[in-house]
Structure 1
């Protein structure tokens, strides 16, 4: 045990060896100017301070090599896919057939008679998407599109198995006629709500204007520097006239107080804490989004940087307001998926502040009670919106919401506008409560699929939720009103700076239509799947008759919504941005297109769609086409809106020859209204009944699903207004259409 007790030999270690000792890996004592070894060997002794370990350079080198190998592997995979697709096309051309549009995945599975679900499960999604869009429950447009694709595949299989029939011909036309009579959009919508094609704004018009303004203005001012005092006051004033009015949970007095501290203190941003800075930054970003002035991105990114863990560690009212505005900004700038992150944090801070509990309000002054109750219900409304749209389970259960807290929202100032703003916000809370109940009742809180409900349960719940919504509509206090049509809204004569009650009424109308779509979506898709799977008439059975009666009313609602949104796009396009409802409107338009497509398929299975749904099949097709045109106009630079439009257009072109072959009943020429030359749309009739059966395969449906949900590529960003803005693909959602 002596070796344990013996002291260790101390060997001095030089903090830095000379170059000669390092090269020979010899021991260096570190003496200056000449070490012991160099003095003994009579060699030059030079010390070089590197400041960086070369081993770190080797680690960096290895990381770069791994990234390069991964990139090369990805490129090799794409090259192999391209070669496979090219070989398939050459083979198809040699055989005299048209290659499938399903891409390389379709070429691999072309000869396999599998169902759509099996094809998808065995390789359609092998091509890795650029970004994972995650899980979406049954209340999402994803689920509606998937259900529609299933029904389309059912129709395709039935048409393939059916014997050839004579092509559909309208009454009074000969087999040589090239097409049935043209159907004008006035047969579906009123002329006042029909925008002329010549007056429709292009997709890039607003993006180009904002790009030019951002280039000139950004050259004169720093990106996220605090603006000059007059501009800061002007921006803040505009915020509370636009976004701040539609989102009335931002404390106007508190924001002006923070602004005064920054201006009067002369210390720019550092005059207030990080939470107040984040609130003012996102206020400026929201304002710039409503203007063709300069890009809001610098202030948006500054807000993200300020709302870090250190700032959010201590919950404050300012940080909660900033998070709510941040989520709204992300949703209306094609970052809807990213808005989940600030929403999570806003729910956490709300519970930490205790604004959900009535007992926490007892020691507060009236102003704080008003502001905190507004913030709580703003978080609840946002939770209901994201739960329905992104189809996730709610973060705030219904039993945690105490509706008596609405009584605390008594404005400190008793002006007419303040009372009207509070009444509007209360009605928005109630209609979003119906939205949340719909997700819970009809879509099993986005946990289980709605297919677990039988048709009787779906019809019963649809009636119950519709009656709740109608009761809410009847209780809306004057002067607020829910417009039923664009004519009632009087959009063509309404000035740009319309009165406050007209703005609030239009917003409540949007929320009303949103709830209607969610309530009836499950019933529509269930009936469509049931009819297309069985091949029976959709008007058979008591439950189906009751469901079709409800859907007939819903079809009229879709027509009213199209009238309204086209009136807004034609006469008051800035309304969507200035009131933070672009994302809601765009989401609703995707739902409208999917549901209109479902109605078109459903009407094709009716003995008389006119008597059951109140519209002919060909008129519903016109409604569908007009919905797609509106989606293209409203979506603008939205990549996923373009993808949704493209996929549904492919479905429409492939299905029309199948739907109109052997049609049991067609509208006569006398039943159609006169054609409008500027808005006509002609239905094409094929010469051969089964001409498309070889082309419309399972792989095409699978490729549309793949294109809709995962295959985002740089080509999708061409002509979208992104080029030149300094923003990459990663700055926007791959699933922004939701």
Structure 2
């Protein structure tokens, strides 16, 4: 019989062995069951249905309760179940973290908790792939942003990881702290409680796509262009207002994201510096911070992947705004991004703008020169190396806007005065840059880089000659005020205001140039401790003679600002923006405190003085800081510092 079977069956077994059992399938298709034929159970179509070209369907019957299931199918179901469980676990952890964060926020609102007051990690959830942390409860490593301000004015004795070099205000204060150590910790304060620190309004909802009313926007634009753009006129007002009016007419539908960021940053700056309103500094900051955050939401991520002139203006305005806040680290970081972005756009090169409209060329040129001035300010106040070497200033100096058409000489002066002011400001900061390079070693902090006394005296003399040449080159409508002239008697015009600001900046540069020699004298007196009245070494006498220039500029700075703020009807528009004025006054007060150390050692006594030569200027400085702004934490801290370290002098008087 075996020989009569087909060949494939003959090969399946040998004679004498049992026939293999037919493999049963768990479920036959409907067509095979209807035909009562064998079904191999293949999916999606069995072999029989495929050969007959008919539809193959598997329909389990009600009686099929103990069907055989493939092992692979069970493994797939098990894996899918694990995946679902993992997703549910993650969802549960996220929900738990969210609810705990909401509870933490409610506690912060009720207790007005400041940033950094929360504990370390408190919520940790175990998930399938690792550990989920509640991000709001992760401990902040800490920052210096509440210890110093944007101009690096410091009021705490704790060490900081941030570097502050020789030209910084922070490094200039230790001699006074050491000389008045007994008064540092026990000086009682009779003033009211310190006003709240300038905190970020964390609980205020901020929508980046929200703008104020048209009336408020128009007012803020006018405030900015009248109060601040005249000091650093890098924005072309007619061009900017033309774009603004076009966007306003279309409902800001087609406004570019980076341009909206610049607009909000202008609103932030205008709100922050506007002292003509009755609002306190705290209220102005909270309002301005809303605009600042909107600008950041619009341009922060964009600035990391896009290079444009609007992005540069956004970063420049952000850096200028942050100088009036308690965020020195953020100010320095934004400034670094600003310099790199400006270089990436080619603002340092005239060649990169050859094909552009003359107005666009001038905007780029003025923007780069403003960044250079800001870089020198940051380098001096923080005591860090400048990001823009003087050799990189190869663009032309600012010139009048190409679109300006004048018919009278009076109109020409009104327009050119701001261009001439920017030109004078840039040239003054070039002198500041050379002082940083020659007298402060570029703030590199190298050991043993201090020059000897004779070299330091020669360097100060050379820099003073440069400063005087700069002063003599100013046009008549920007000439510096005479020492006996009172700024409070001047007219409230652009020319008088800019003359006053240039005068204060001149004294700031003069203080910077001669401060190393004042420090040399102070170090000798505090470290050597010679007897009072004993003759000084000749080199110290020469250094002291140069230090007199520093002290006179400091006293004149305080006198100028005091005359304005103590007038019957003070006009703050005659001064620089409040945080620059605050810095000039506080920096000058530190120099006067240095003079107090000289007086204590009997080496600087003015017999012709009608009042206490030290306590008089210090009292004026405190009065200036009290009247400069209302409810201003920075001004309060500066006044408190001066009061504390001037107490020994008041006790002697």
Partners in 1 of 2:423 and 2:240 — Cα distance?
A: 23
Q: 1:241 aligns with which of 197, 215, 226?
A: 226
Choose which of 579, 583, 590 in structure 2 pairs with 1:583. Answer: 579
Pair 1:11–1:538, CA change in 2 (3 A): farther
The answer as to whether partners of 2:557 and 2:585 remain within 8 angstroms in 1 is: no
1:142 paired to 2:164 = no
Which residue is 2:122 aligned to?
A: 64
Of 352, 360, 363, the residue aligned with 2:355 is 363
Q: 1:56 to 1:597 in 2, by over 3 A?
A: same
Aligned residues: CA RMSD: 4.2
Name the structure 1 match of 2:404: 413
Q: Note closer, same or farther for the CA distance 1:559–1:380 as it changes in structure 2 (3 Å cut).
A: same
Check conservation: 1:539, 1:548, Cα contact below 8 A.
no
C-alpha change, 1:150 and 1:453, in structure 2 (3 Å) is farther
Is 1:627 aligned with 2:621? Answer: yes
* Structure 2 unaligned spans of 5+: 1-69, 101-119, 125-132, 141-156, 185-192, 406-411
Q: 2:555 aligns with which of 536, 554, 559?
A: 559
> Partners in 2 of 1:478 and 1:72 — Cα distance?
59
Question: Are 1:609 and 1:616, in contact at CA under 8 Å, matched by a contact in 2?
Answer: no
**Could you tell me which residue of structure 1 aligns to residue 235 of structure 2?**
250
After TM superposition, list the pairs within 5 Å mapping 1:518-533 onto structure 2: 518-533=512-527
Report the equivalent of 1:602: 598
Relative to the length of structure 2, the TM-score reads: 0.68
The structure with the largest helix share of the pair is 1
**1:513 and 1:561 in contact (8 A); partners too:** yes
Alpha carbons 1:275, 1:318 under 8 Å: kept = yes
Paired position in structure 1 for 2:247:
262
Contact map agreement 1:137 1:392 (CA 8 A) in 2: yes
Match 1:432 to one of 418, 429, 432? 429
Task: Give the Cα separation in 2 of the matches to 1:467 and 1:15.
Answer: 86
Structure 2 partner of 1:113? none
Work out the CA distance in 1 between the residues paired with 2:180 and 2:487: 39
Distance (whole Å) between structure 2 residues aligned to residue 17 and residue 9 of structure 1 = 12
1:301 and 2:301 correspond? no
- Alpha-carbon offset, residue 282 of structure 1: 1.2
Cα distance per residue 1:405-428 (max 9 Å; x no partner): 116565431433221111110001
Name the residue aligned to 1:13: 76
- The Cα shift of 1:438 comes to 1.6
Q: Tell me, yes or no, if structure 1 residue 394 matches structure 2 residue 386.
A: yes
2 CA distance for matches of 1:346 and 1:541? 47
| Secondary structure of 2:235's aligned partner | coil
Q: How far does residue 587 in structure 1 lie from its aligned partner after superposition?
A: 1.7
What stretches of structure 1 of length at least 5 have no aligned partner?
1-6, 23-27, 31-46, 75-123, 157-201, 212-217, 657-681, 686-738
**CA distance 1:608–1:561, shift in 2 (3 Å):** closer
Residues 327 and 339 of structure 1 are in contact (CA less than 8 Å); yes or no, is this contact kept in structure 2? yes
1:534 to 528, 536, 554: 528
Could you tell me which residue of structure 1 aligns to residue 472 of structure 2?
A: 474
The Cα of 1:607 is off from its aligned counterpart by: 5.7
What residue in structure 2 maps to residue 350 of structure 1? 342
What's the TM-score, normalizing by structure 1? 0.61
Aligned ranges 1:432-581 → 2 under 5 Å:
432-448=429-445, 452-485=450-483, 488-492=485-489, 494=491, 498-536=492-530, 539-571=535-567, 575=572, 581=577
* Contact in 1 for aligned 2:234/2:370 (Cα 8 Å): yes
- Please give the secondary structure, in 2, of the residue aligned with 1:624: helix
Structure with the bigger RCO (C-alpha within 8 Å, sep 6+) is: 1
Mapped to 2, the partners of 1:138 and 1:596 lie a distance apart of 18
Residue 307 of structure 2 contacts residue 341 of structure 2 at CA under 8 Å; is this kept in 1? yes
Cα gap change, 1:454 to 1:409, in 2 (>3 Å): farther
Work out the CA distance in 2 between the residues paired with 1:51 and 1:362: 61
Report the CA distance shift for 1:445/1:637 in structure 2 as closer, same or farther (over 3 A): farther
For each residue in 1:189-222, what CA deviation from the matched residue of structure 2 results, as whole angstroms up to 9, or x when unmatched?
xxxxxxxxxxxxx9979x9xxx9xxxxxx99x99
1:281 aligns with 2:258: no
2:33 aligns to what? none
Residues 1:382 and 2:343 aligned together: no
Over 6 Å off, 4+ runs: 15-18, 57-62, 70-74, 153-156, 202-205, 221-224
CA gap 1:408/1:643 in 2 versus in 1, 3 angstroms:
closer
What is the CA–CA distance in structure 2 between the aligned matches of 1:257 and 1:350, rounded to whole Å? 24
Instruction: Check conservation: 1:489, 1:506, Cα contact below 8 A.
Output: no
* Alignment check: 8 A CA contact 2:400 2:419 kept: yes
- The Cα of 1:460 is off from its aligned counterpart by 1.5
1:543 and 1:463 map into 2 onto residues whose CA distance is 14
| 3-state SS of 2:162 partner | coil
The aligned length equals 509
